[in-house]
Amino acid sequence: MFDRFRSSGLEVVCVGAFETAESCEAWRQRFGLGCPVVPDEDGTLFRRLTNGWVPCNILVAPDGTVLFAENEFDETGYVAAIAALYERAAPSPLDRQADQPAVERHVPSRAAARIVVLGGGTGGLVTARELRRRLGREHHVVLIDRSPVHLFAPSLLWLMVGRREPRQIQRPLTRLAAHGIEFHQGDVSEIDLDARVVRTESAAFAFDYLVVSLGAELAPRDVPGFDEMALNLYDLEGSSRIRAALQSFRGGRIGVLIPSMPFKCPAAPYEAAFLIEAHCREAGVREKTEIHLFTPEHQPMPVAGSTVGDAVVEVLRGRGIQYHPLFTFESLRPERREVVSSDGSATQIDLLLGVPPHRAPDVLRASGLLGVSGWIHVDARTLRTAHEGVFAVGDVTSIRLPNGKTLPKAGVFAHAEAKIVVQQIVDEIQGRPSQKSFDGRGSCWIELGDGKAGFAGGQFYAEPEPHVRMFRPGRMWHWGKVAFEQWWLRRWC
Amino acid sequence: MKVLDESSTGVQTGAHLALGDLSLPVSGTAGVLLVFWKER
């Protein structure tokens, strides 16, 4: 970045949080940096300017305006933002604040709108079904997904421990036709916002409204050795392989590894650990088994707050699950089946469940929709992007909370956001200003095994911190989660 | 990514930052990119 924009006058300063002058100089020399590297030994600057996470990159305009403050690095987005600083381009999506109130829109009603929904997961499915329910048949609703089926992903954990079969948690998206929704199976190859067309390998879909709900792509190959050593906790094939491995597991060391942030469904790795611990007890191998959970987080589900985090840690401890927070993952050594930390220590793991790195789908990179975080930035209330008639919901978005952290990636939010988007589109088509906005409320179950679950929920848009309450675990919550699964598969699929 | 201080909120997009108050070796006349890092 420094070398690229130096001639434009951009100044880059690397600030070592809690680092000394000596370590800063060593770091500067190690990377051959031409920009200043300064120590912030007591963390004063770090605490004042960042959201507490490293790395954190902050771009400041000459007038002192903060143009972005992000943890994740997306080179394309950063380059665009910095280039805009010097080219004085048209207002960028990066200038949009997540918490700006919805702008009243006066749009002439449309005789027949064409609404394209990308993605048949939680957000896409709710969007398409609700649009179809609320709009007359003169309006076209199209849903595109590369998969022919909708997978109810929360139930992968039950599949992992043998309590579900794949066919029980999938529904064909071809059923959408019976609801008057045009379904196309295919990979989205291009999103042309200027021409307002989405292309797949075989067709082109013009749109008046576009709702992007493509989710997060899983990128296990971003971790060398993942395919050889780890089983993917987050997809159907991986969960099935975990089930097979657990059935033949006779004792040893099981690990749940979160190598990087962010990841969707913040509770899932912890639920996996709890369910596996219960499974080992049932199988009579618990005393011969160690269970480890490695995460870069400082607590389980950090955005939910310390009440929830502490409660989950208490259960981890009570179950004898070895919890390694603030774990800085370095690498996997498949030949020795080791998980290696940045401090050089290695833990040998016999059965490793991995949370693969998550990223926005590649098709979005060329679309102009991604923000500097590498995800789609949307208005926190209306879910609108900076492009007219283009919305995004669910895991593909990044929404900054008042406390500087980002809204977790979870189906409950995709579901609620989809309903708001539908209201926005329906109101606009019917020629009235939309009053409805997303309020940041969400909840989730935390499966504990032994037929029990916990439940937490609250208001994530609360200031200064999300206000989330944790309910006492019990069988009722587990059965509530089962009931929700059944309702979901009946209601939306 | 990792967290060093969960109580921090930091600056938000759109906020104003007085670079002169930060004691950093920058003039700020043409834009500044601050990169916060921590050795592993």
Instruction: Name the residue range of residue A244's domain.
Output: 218-358
Whether A205 and A119 map to the same domain: the answer is yes
- Is residue A314 in some structural domain? yes
* CB pairs < 8 Å spanning A and B: 199
Quick one: pLDDT at residue A293? Answer: 98
Q: Which of the residues in chain B have pLDDT under 70?
A: 40
- Is residue A395 in some structural domain? yes
Whether A212 and A229 map to the same domain: the answer is no
Whether A58 and A126 map to the same domain: the answer is no
Whether A127 and A170 map to the same domain: the answer is yes
Task: Give the model confidence (pLDDT) of A287-341 as tens digits.
Answer: 999 999 999 999 999 999 999 999 999 999 999 999 999 999 999 999 999 999 9
- Is residue A451 in some structural domain? no
- Single residue among A358, A386, A402 that ends a domain in this structure: A358
From chain B, the residues in CB contact with A461 under 8 A are none
- CATH number, domain with residue A283: 3.50.50.60
Whether A254 and A289 map to the same domain: the answer is yes
B34 to A58: CB separation less than 8 angstroms, yes or no: yes
Q: Which residues contact A337 (CB under 8 A, 6 or more apart)?
A: A229, A348, A349, A350, A352
Task: Give the model confidence (pLDDT) of A425-479 as tens digits.
Answer: 999 999 988 888 999 999 999 999 999 999 999 999 998 889 999 999 999 999 9
pLDDT for residue A421 is more than 60: yes
A52 to B27: CB separation less than 8 angstroms, yes or no: no
The pTM of this model reads 0.85
Task: Give the model confidence (pLDDT) of A134-168 as tens digits.
Answer: 999 999 999 999 999 999 999 999 999 999 999 99
- Is residue A57 in some structural domain? yes
Quick one: pLDDT at residue B40? Answer: 63
From chain B, the residues in CB contact with A373 under 8 A are none
- Is residue A105 in some structural domain? no
Over the range A288-307, which residues count as b (16 or more CB within 10 Å of their CB) and which as e? Answer: ebbbbbbbbbbbbbbbbbee
pLDDT for residue A48 is more than 70: yes
Name the residue among B8, B13, B25 with its Cβ closest to that of A68. Answer: B13
Whether A409 and A279 map to the same domain: the answer is no
- Interface contact A297, partner B, CB < 8 A: yes
Helix or strand or coil: residue A160?
Answer: helix
- Single residue among A420, A438, A456 that ends a domain in this structure: A438
Task: Give the residue-averaged pLDDT of A118-131.
Answer: 98
- Is residue A473 in some structural domain? no
- Interface contact A252, partner B, CB < 8 A: no
CA nearest A416: which of A465, A383, A378?
A383
pLDDT for residue A182 is more than 90: yes
Report the alpha-carbon distance of residue A252 to residue A285 in Å, rounded. 9
Task: Give the residue-averaged pLDDT of A395-423.
Answer: 95
Residues 446-475 of A with CB under 8 A from B: 464
Residue A30's CB is within 10 A of a number of other CB atoms, namely 9
Whether A138 and A252 map to the same domain: the answer is no
CA nearest A235: which of A223, A227, A225, A246?
A227
- Single residue among A34, A63, A95 that ends a domain in this structure: A95
State the smallest CA–CA distance between residue B27 and chain A in angstroms: 8
From chain A, the residues in CB contact with B21 under 8 A are none
Q: Taking CA atoms, what residue in A is nearest to B29? A: A62
- Is residue A335 in some structural domain? yes
A66 to B16: CB separation less than 8 angstroms, yes or no: yes
Name the residue among B8, B14, B33 with its Cβ closest to that of A59. Answer: B33
Residue B4's CB is within 10 A of a number of other CB atoms, namely 19
Whether A275 and A333 map to the same domain: the answer is yes
Whether A41 and A14 map to the same domain: the answer is yes
Whether A261 and A338 map to the same domain: the answer is yes
Report the alpha-carbon distance of residue A400 to residue A72 in Å, rounded. 13
Report the alpha-carbon distance of residue A5 to residue A1 in Å, rounded. 6
- CATH number, domain with residue A18: 3.40.30.10
- Is residue A448 in some structural domain? no
Task: Give the model confidence (pLDDT) of A190-210 as tens digits.
Answer: 999 999 999 999 999 999 999
Whether A232 and A276 map to the same domain: the answer is yes
pLDDT for residue A133 is more than 60: yes
Residues 299-358 of A with CB under 8 A from B: 299, 302, 326, 328, 330, 342-343
Number of domains in chain A: 3
B4 to A342: CB separation less than 8 angstroms, yes or no: no
Whether A123 and A195 map to the same domain: the answer is yes
Determine which of B13, B19, B26, B40 to mutate to test the interface with A (most A C-beta atoms within 10 Å).
B13
